[in-house]
Every structure is written in C-alpha cells, then in structure tokens.
Amino acid sequence: MPQTLAEKLISMHAGREVKAGELAVVDVDFAYVQDWTGPLTVDVIGELGGALAVDPARVAVFIDHASPSSFKEVSTGHIKLRDYAAKSGCRLFDIGEGVSHLVLGEKVTSPGMLMVGADSHTCQGGALGAFSTGMGSTDVAVAMSTGKIWMMCPEAVKVVVTGKLPAGVYAKDAILHLIGSIGADGATYQSLEFMGDTVDGLSVTGRTTISSMAVEAGAKCGLFATDGYTRAWLAEHNRESDYKEIRHDEGASYARVVEIDVSKLVPMVSFPHKVDNTRPITHPDCNDVVCHQAYLGSTTNGYYEDFEAAARILRGRHVAKGSRLVLTPGTKDVYRKMMKTGLMDVFLDAGGVVNSPGCGACPGSHAGILGDGENCIASINRNFKGRMGNPASFVYLASPATVAASAVEGRLADPRRFI
C-alpha cells in the first residue's frame, strides 16, 4: 500500500505495516521532558517502579522553560530533574542550552526517528523528517522508562504549498495563514504533511517554524520529506551521516488536500486570544495597534535565520519611544553565532534586551511578562489569554520581520516597507 509520511514512519517503528486509523505499539527512539512537565514525569517513573531510563542515550531532560529560574519553587523542581539525570545517566541540557526542540534539531533529531516529548511543540521534529509528537508527563514517563508507547497512526492532510514567498513574507506567515484558514482544530488528531515547490525551496529553519505550529491546528505532527536542505542542515551541524531519505509514496491516501499559493501572501498577524484569529497586516484592524513590547524568539522562531530576518530591519534603526524589544536566542549556538556575526550589536544598538537561551517570555513565567493592558507583538506560537504571564494583556503573533518593523514603529507595522 502506498504510504503517507506518518504511515511510513510509524510502520518503521511498529515492525509492521500500519495504516491510518490503526493503533500500534511503537519503539521510541528518543524521549524527553522539560522543566514544566518533567518533575511530574520523574514522579511517574518512580511510581512505575521500572527502569529510570530504558537507554540513557535516548532520554533527555531540558531545563529551558525557566532558564535560569526566577522562583525558589521552580529551582527546587530543577534539582529534582538534575538528580534524575544524574541517577539515570540520561542527557541533561541545563539552563542556557536552549529550547529543547531547537537543541534537538541541532544535535539529535534525524530523518526517520520516532520521538516523543512532554511538550506540545515536540511536533517540530517533523521539519527533519522525524515522527515527533507531544504527549503528557505520564505517557512520556512510560516512553523514557520502557522505550515504548502506544499511538494511533493519524490520517494525513496533504498541504500543497506553491509559489515564491514575496519579500517580507516568511514561513511564519504561511503557517499563520493556514491555521487561520482551517482553524485551531482544523487538523485535530491528524498529520499535516507539507509538500509543493515552496516547501522544496524552504530552509530547515522555515520548516521548523511550520512544523512547530502544526499543533496550533490540533495536529499530531507536521511532517516534511527529506532533501538537500535536510542534508545541508545536518552537515552544518556535523552529522551528515544521520541523513536518510524519507518520502511519501505516490498514490498515498489523504483525508483531504489543502492548497496554498503563497505568491500573493502578505504578512499575517494573529489577534488575541486565538491563533486562528488571523488578519493580513493590510487589514484596517491592524491600524493603530500600539506595541508596548516586541518579542523575538521561541521554539517557533528561535534559530539564527529568524533573528537575521529581524536584524535586516533593525540595522541602523531604533525601537520606538514607548516600546521595548526583548529577544531570546533559541539555543546557545544561535546566541554564539549572533555575537560572532555582529547581529547582537544590531539588536543592542536598536535598544533590544537579550535573555539567556531558552523559552524566555513565551510560556509566561519570566523574562518579559506583560503589564496590565499591554500589547505584545511576538514571534511566538500562541496568544491564548494569559499566555505571556498576564491575563489582562494581549499577544499578537507574527513573523520576526513583522515584530522588528512593529518595534521600530511602536505599533503593528508592515515589514515590507522596510525591505
């Protein structure tokens, strides 16, 4: 039977051919937690009473959500995670290493892998041709302890993206547009599988942005086939030998097909408090939206190329009076490269403030919490009420370029005017 990417990847880990809709027990290549969900996972591993880690090389703990911690309670939770890592021998990525999914994209995630993580944005591993999906603390505890988990093979939605992205329009705009079209539950339980000539020419950073936001349409995963871009990314991170050809079969069967022509797409903004509440930047609603804070970073836009797009606009310019710019490099390597290439100077000269690598202000517990009534234009993935730490604040989602343009103008702004 011709297979979708999800069917192919799940079959590879179930030891038999698995079709969409079927349940399977799969071998998990890599399982991980972060510091929001991890302490609970450690408790559950204790309750299970089996191995602490089925294979320490295939298990990791990330301290990225509070990095470094701002609360004594969180710091004590971190002790629990470090203790688990020491006892189990698993890999520990401590404060300042970066966001789990982005660090894994640099160091671990490989075509053909099956990964589970106690974080909803685990789906971004699909950018490198891995079946990677988020689960709760208990499911991931089982995967870490036993190396296995059950799952349903999702039916797939074929998303065909065609056309050349216009200047000032990015992968983030394309995925916001898609979610705005199909809705926040438009792909619940399904696998979003991206193809088409836009995707064929899209960098791994752009694919990472798209995969990470698959969950914002309810999807279980957001998958890309592998190609020269995948190989180049792995080579850049000194692991070209991890490359594998992963492609869907011609004639595979899809629940539906969604077609997007990006050649006329304009920068998109998600309005509070729903990701699918999108508007083109040219919409009248985008006039006169004051941006008290502009925020760059997050697992969705935390790689170097994302900051480069923002820096192109900020170079030689300054954040508007009354606005502030906060940025959080996604990983330590991104941080280092930003220093080496002078990007950091661009942000500092523009008036930006830099957090240590990690999740930063995105999950709302530190490093840029908003005040009552404030608006933030952010390159993050969610704008639910309270997301950035204050239910009386308002989060607008956009590409790094739109965030940069809005920082300069102090209100929602079209990045195309700066390019």
Question: Smallest Cα–Cα separation from 273: which of 415, 402, 398, 387?
Answer: 387
Task: Transcribe 23-37 into DSSP letters.
Answer: EEEEE-SEEEEETTT
Q: How far is the CB of 42 from other proteins (least distance, A)?
A: 10
Among 120, 212, 293, 375, binds other proteins (CB under 8 A): 120
Q: Does 73 bind other proteins (CB under 8 A)?
A: yes
366: CB partners within 8 A, 6+ apart: 66, 69, 70, 389
Q: Which is nearer to other proteins, 152 or 232 (CB)?
A: 152
Range 15-34, binding other proteins (CB under 8 A): 23-25
State the Cα–Cα distance between residues 184 and 89, nearest whole angstrom: 39
Among 2, 201, 322, 386, binds other proteins (CB under 8 A): 386
C-alpha 45: how far from chain center:
26
State the Cα–Cα distance between residues 59 and 78, nearest whole angstrom: 17
Q: Which is nearer to other proteins, 136 or 201 (CB)?
A: 136
Q: Which is nearer to other proteins, 24 or 204 (CB)?
A: 24
State the Cα–Cα distance between residues 299 and 100, nearest whole angstrom: 8
**Count of residues near other proteins by CB under 8 A:** 56
Q: Does 97 bind other proteins (CB under 8 A)?
A: no
Q: Does 180 bind other proteins (CB under 8 A)?
A: no
Q: What is the largest CA-CA distance in the chain?
A: 61
Q: Does 39 bind other proteins (CB under 8 A)?
A: yes
Question: Smallest Cα–Cα separation from 194: which of 231, 220, 162?
Answer: 162
Q: Does 54 bind other proteins (CB under 8 A)?
A: no
232: CB partners within 8 A, 6+ apart: 204
Q: Does 300 bind other proteins (CB under 8 A)?
A: no
Q: Does 218 bind other proteins (CB under 8 A)?
A: yes
Q: Does 13 bind other proteins (CB under 8 A)?
A: no
HSE-up (13 A, CA, CB side) for residue 321? 0
Q: Does 148 bind other proteins (CB under 8 A)?
A: yes
Assigned token pair, 99: 């966001």
Question: Smallest Cα–Cα separation from 247: which of 224, 230, 219?
Answer: 224
x/- map, 275-294, other proteins, by CB under 8 A: --------------------
Q: Which is nearer to other proteins, 60 or 202 (CB)?
A: 60
For residue 66, CA distances in Å to 38, 204, 332, 392 come to 12, 26, 15, 22
Binding region for other proteins (CB under 8 A) out of 107-115, 143-151, 316-324, 337-345: 143-151
> Which residues of the chain form contacts with other proteins (CB under 8 A)?
23-25, 36-37, 39-40, 44, 47-49, 65-66, 70-71, 73-74, 76-77, 80, 117-120, 122, 134-139, 142, 146, 148, 150, 152, 184-185, 188-189, 218, 220, 274, 363-365, 369, 382, 384-391
